[in-house]
Amino acid sequence: MTAPRVVITGLGGVTPIGTGAAAIWESACAGRSGIGPITLFDVSNQLCRIAGEVRGFEPGRYMPAKHLKRMDDFARYAVAASVMAVEDAELPITTDNGRRIGVLLGNNNGGARTIFRTVTSFNQDGPSGVSPFYITAITTNMGAAQVAIRLQVRGPNFTIGNACASGLNAVGEAWRYVREGTCDAVIAGGTDALIDPTEIAGFANSRAVTLRNDEPERASRPFDRDRDGFVLSEGAAMLIVESLEHARARGAHIYAEILGYATGSEAFHIAAPLPDGIGVAACMQAALASARVRPEDVDYVNAHATSTPIGDLNETQGLKLVFGAHADRLAVSATKSMTGHLIGASGALETLITAKTLETGIITPTINLDHPDTGCDLDYVPHTARRADVHHALTNSFGFGGANASLVLRRWEK
């Protein structure tokens, strides 16, 4: 029996560069940075004082007001992005079909912001300072659970916690669920809300984030010789991953087709990748094999590219191992140059943007790439978006602990 073809039919997001797929896409094409000074708390004693905050978000537009106080921001972002994706896909959810629709959500730290605030309240007021909704607000699975409750989806419901690969893992595993016939459609993506004092301090003390505090919009600079770390960001991106047969039967708009996916562990180090790009190359090669796509058929790569000195070079080395001479003909761009690093949501957001690239033929730029570093010598689409004939694309997510994921997509053609 031939496995079902799998397509993307709906997009939604809450991000530093906009809320809603249209706003996100417009900002990405314009090369607009979402990075600025941290406003959520006092940063006067912090080494890092910038981040990619979500601004102007109105959660009450997407869920009942009485539920808001029961949720951490990571769950609010996930629910809002899921509602947008379902509406964009015009996906009907009923008592009859709800058990054939799943939710797969990537998330790294659950309700980290609520944990910080509650510990502060407990230290000041003792047990009376702890909300009765504390436990259910911080539990890692509660983002996916709140999505299911809000949308009345009763199919498989899982949360994937796999560091920076989490969101892409969720989309890839959704592809598997649909191919295996477990679901007709899956609401899949990632969410995180980690901008709090301890997270910022922890990343800064480990020298993972940039300290370019005086130039927030120029701070995330993948592949540039002056990069000095990533920018921590927050938000969510959700996609409707659906069988082609199901999508066609209801006349759905199709953004792109998912052809293949791979994930794996480098089993090497808690933060550093395997040398010379061999670990990330293995993941990309496995994804291409899963998709039955030759390296020379890939036109575009949306890179993981966080703006760290080791990571960007390592990914470039991996691309050269996988694509050989064709690497020089690839267009490669870094969404995080504009959005910063949304951790568990990044892979889903980058899949959203890759799907839009395939739909529109516009490759979003890598901004702030003023002086490419030695060894970072591919075509990174610097500064300005580009029109291109993109048939096949690859997107990567690589996380702490050697967690890797790659996804292969194809332009939809009737």
Instruction: Output the DSSP codes for 160-202.
Output: E-BTBTHHHHHHHHHHHHHHTTS-SEEEEEEEE---SHHHHHH
Residue type at position 203: F
For the CA atoms of 287, 289, 293, 297, what is the dihedral angle to 10 degrees? 70
**DSSP state, 203?**
H
Tell me the three-class secondary structure of 351-382, residue by residue: HHHHHHHHHHCEECCECCCCCECCCCCCECCE
Q: Which of 29, 48, 283, 304 is the catalytic position?
A: 304
Q: How far apart are CA 215 and CA 226, in angstroms?
A: 13
Q: Which of 164, 183, 283, 376 is the catalytic position?
A: 164
List, in order, residues 6 or more apart from 392 with CB less than 8 Å away: 259, 293, 297, 298, 299, 300, 408, 409, 410, 411
Q: Which of 48, 183, 341, 392 is the catalytic position?
A: 341
Of 64, 226, 225, nearest in space to 151 by CA: 64
Whether 304 sits among the annotated catalytic residues: the reply is yes
Instruction: Output the DSSP codes for 117-136.
Output: HHHHHHHHHGGGGS-TTHHH
CA distances from 207 to 82, 200, 250, 387 (A): 34, 11, 50, 37
Residue 172, token pair as written in the block: 């890839």
Q: How far apart are CA 81 and CA 147, in angstroms?
A: 9
Whether 164 sits among the annotated catalytic residues: the reply is yes
**DSSP state, 63?**
S
Pairing of strands 101-107, 157-160: parallel
For the annotated catalytic residues, the residue numbers are 164, 304, 341
